[in-house]
Amino acid sequence: MTIEELRKIAEAEREAQKKYQHHVCVCIAAGCLSSGGDLVRDAIQKEVVESGMKSEVLVKGVGCMGLCSAGPLVSVESDGKMYAGVTPEEAPDIVGSLDTGAGGPAECPTNVPFFERQKKIVLENSGKIDPERIEDYIAHDGYRALVGVIGEMSPRQVVDEVIKSGLRGRGGAGYPTGLKWSTVAKTGEQEKYVVCNADEGDPGAFMDRAVLESDPHRVLEGMAIAAYAVGAQKGYIYVRAEYPLAVSHLKTAIRQATRLGLLGNDICGSRFSFHIDIRLGAGAFVCGEETALIASIEGKRGTPRPRPPYPAESGLWDCPTLINNVETFANVAPIIRNGAAWFASIGTEKSKGTKVFALAGRVTNTGLIEVPMGITLREVVQEIGGGIPDGKRCKAVQTGGPSGGCIPERHMDLPVDYESLKGVGSMMGSGGMIVMDETSCMVDVAKYFMEFCMSESCGKCVPCRAGTQQMHSILQKITNGEASPADLALLEELCDLVRNTSLCGLGQGAPTPVLTTLANFRDEYDSHIEGRGCPAGVCQGANRNGKEAAQ
């Protein structure tokens, strides 16, 4: 494959698509699929055939368009219209409106902040291309970066470009990606691995799933560029088995890319070879921790081990291993294509580019969003999210999943970047963002995350295994209205112990939801303990015991 051949494929595909007057894109990613996106696509296709418009209308199954709560979503590229909550029965209306421009079902406006305030890099193709056709990806500049890199750049230049871009790990901790790459590259000539961490496990988070389902080739391209840069020959994508559609799209993508010589031996006629295999995770949250993930790929029990040595030095089968998250890899091709300076111009001084969030909770628009770093939480919640429904007030925003924290309303003007979120006790995390209003009890929220950590603890180290159990039972006691101030003191002691002595990030981060809610909503804890009940009215036990105490 040369750059010329690639261009030919792209042109042929664009020509083929241009023949169609109308492009009707139906989301068949997991969110819309669950509300019948595939049936809608089939109904529209059938309608197109029946009304004799087969040569005018191209019906595409595409990936995520973001507004998942309003699915199934259908977008018509030619007239820029989007339809939400489409049923198969509405297919004739949609097809009928194509030429006339009127009479379609309920339209979903696209000139609203939810769409206009977003900035799409990772999701640029999402909802536009058919994830099961490599030609569609190539027609959207796909694999241009990889072929260009192999033909024109030295591995060192690629690493430098990534360093200059300022890209940081999107898995949560925000480690500089370029630095990680250069470390693995420096380990000299030996067997090395590139691993893509797609074991997305935070409750309510589905950023990686959307990327893999909607644009799998983007991740493969990123991995291949990384392999070229660090000198690896073999790659693994560790993806959870609960994502069957993502797995299926990945498998298709790997097969297609290999067929075109974009993966496999002697890529683009060079001496660079790179093979990618998929490994399925069995649903253990802890396998998202890099050393546990490596153990799992090796066929061992997925438990973390102490670092150092870091995987960059000694990872998979004791070889230097580059592990990055799906979203990190998804940023690589655009960086190479558009240049590090372009990427570095987006975002803040220390946090470059964009971040994908799964916006959920008490907010009008829930779904998948991609925003430039540095946007404020208020903009995300009020503008993109459309504010809090039912005239309620925002109380807090939870970021960072079970290791993250609750950011109170008074910090809503905080820019979304790694340092700012860390500064208020939370973290960027992989991209879960849960909005809470006054009907959410913060103790209950803390208990929910503690229960998650307790049941997902791998059980290897004592503080995480036994400490999360103790903390959870104290939180249970508080929400039942049976706790005393001594219990609260014990809870704080356990937070300190578990945070500072646990082996991996899961245990070290487990107390964070408690610590941030204690720091910002201590009065809610006190209310449960002092018999004044649950202020949000969530904890029935505390309310009951509170009333008894009052009588």
Partner 1 sequence: MSAKAPVRVKTLTIDGREVGAREDQTILEVATENGIFIPTLCDLPGLSTVGACRLCLVEVKGARGLLPACVTRVAEGMEVAVNSERLDRYRRGILELLFAERNHVCSVCVVNGHCDLQSLALRLGMTHVHFPYQYPRLPVDASHERFVVDHNRCILCARCVRVCDEIEGAHTWDIMSRGVDCRVITDLAQPWGKSESCTGCGKCVQVCPTGALSEKGKSVAEMSKRRQFLPYLTLMREGRR
Q: Any contact of residue 399 with partner 1 (CB under 8 A)?
A: no
Q: Any contact of residue 457 with partner 1 (CB under 8 A)?
A: yes
State the nearest-atom distance from the C-beta of 520 to partner 1, in Å: 24
Nearer to partner 1, 214 or 502 (CB): 502
The answer to whether residues 223 and 235 touch, using CB atoms and an 8 Å cutoff, is yes
Q: Any contact of residue 305 with partner 1 (CB under 8 A)?
A: yes
Q: Which of 14, 133, 378, 460 binds partner 1 (CB under 8 A)?
A: 460
Q: Which of 86, 456, 478, 539 binds partner 1 (CB under 8 A)?
A: 456
Nearer to partner 1, 219 or 287 (CB): 287
Q: How far is the C-alpha of 465 from the C-alpha of 457, rounded, in Å?
A: 6
In sequence order, the 6+-apart residues with CB closer than 8 A to the CB of 41 are 26, 28, 59, 61
Q: Which of 468, 516, 527, 545 binds partner 1 (CB under 8 A)?
A: 468
Residues 157-216 interacting with partner 1 (rule: CB under 8 A): none
Residues 307-346 interacting with partner 1 (rule: CB under 8 A): none
State the nearest-atom distance from the C-beta of 168 to partner 1, in Å: 18
Beta bridge pairs of residue 501: none
Nearer to partner 1, 153 or 454 (CB): 454
Q: Any contact of residue 520 with partner 1 (CB under 8 A)?
A: no
State the nearest-atom distance from the C-beta of 183 to partner 1, in Å: 17
Tokens (6 digits) for 17: 């698509």
Nearer to partner 1, 301 or 410 (CB): 301
Q: Any contact of residue 463 with partner 1 (CB under 8 A)?
A: yes
The answer to whether residues 350 and 419 touch, using CB atoms and an 8 Å cutoff, is yes
The answer to whether residues 524 and 464 touch, using CB atoms and an 8 Å cutoff, is no
Q: Any contact of residue 306 with partner 1 (CB under 8 A)?
A: yes
Q: What string marks each residue from 480 to 509 as x (binds partner 1 by CB under 8 A) or -?
A: ----------x--xx--x--xxxx----x-
Is the preceding peptide bond at 244 cis, omega within 30 degrees of 0? no
Nearer to partner 1, 319 or 462 (CB): 462
Q: How far is the C-alpha of 451 from the C-alpha of 114, rounded, in Å?
A: 33
State the nearest-atom distance from the C-beta of 548 to partner 1, in Å: 23
Nearer to partner 1, 20 or 452 (CB): 452
In sequence order, the 6+-apart residues with CB closer than 8 A to the CB of 297 are 195, 236, 238, 279, 316
**Where do the H-state alpha helices sit in 35-90?**
37-50
Backbone angles phi, psi at 363, to 5 degrees: -145, 145
Nearer to partner 1, 273 or 508 (CB): 508
| Helix orientation angle between 144-152 and 326-338, rounded to the nearest 10 degrees | 60
Q: How far is the C-alpha of 255 from the C-alpha of 467, rounded, in Å?
A: 46
Q: How far is the C-alpha of 413 from the C-alpha of 395, rounded, in Å?
A: 13
The interface region with partner 1, picked from 138-146, 228-236, 433-441, 457-465 by CB under 8 A, is: 457-465
Instruction: Map 310-372 to HEC letters.
Output: CCCCCCHHHCCEEEEEHHHHHHHHHHHHHCHHHHHCCECCCCECEEEEEEEECCCCCEEEEEE
Q: Any contact of residue 461 with partner 1 (CB under 8 A)?
A: yes
Q: How far is the C-alpha of 285 from the C-alpha of 308, rounded, in Å?
A: 22
- Helix/strand/coil percent split, the chain, to 5: 50, 15, 35
| First-residue to last-residue Cα distance in the chain | 81
State the nearest-atom distance from the C-beta of 69 to partner 1, in Å: 32
Q: How far is the C-alpha of 518 from the C-alpha of 539, rounded, in Å?
A: 17
Nearer to partner 1, 9 or 458 (CB): 458
Q: How many CB atoms lie within 10 A of CB 423?
A: 11
Q: Any contact of residue 476 with partner 1 (CB under 8 A)?
A: no
Nearer to partner 1, 118 or 457 (CB): 457
Q: Which of 51, 338, 364, 469 binds partner 1 (CB under 8 A)?
A: 469
Nearer to partner 1, 465 or 532 (CB): 465
The interface region with partner 1, picked from 89-97, 366-374, 418-426, 449-457 by CB under 8 A, is: 449-457
Nearer to partner 1, 86 or 312 (CB): 312
Amino acid at residue number 466: A
Tokens (6 digits) for 124: 């640029």
Nearer to partner 1, 87 or 183 (CB): 183
Q: What is the contact surface with partner 1 in residues (CB under 8 A)? A: 284, 286, 301, 305-306, 454-463, 465-470, 473, 490, 493-494, 497, 500-503, 508
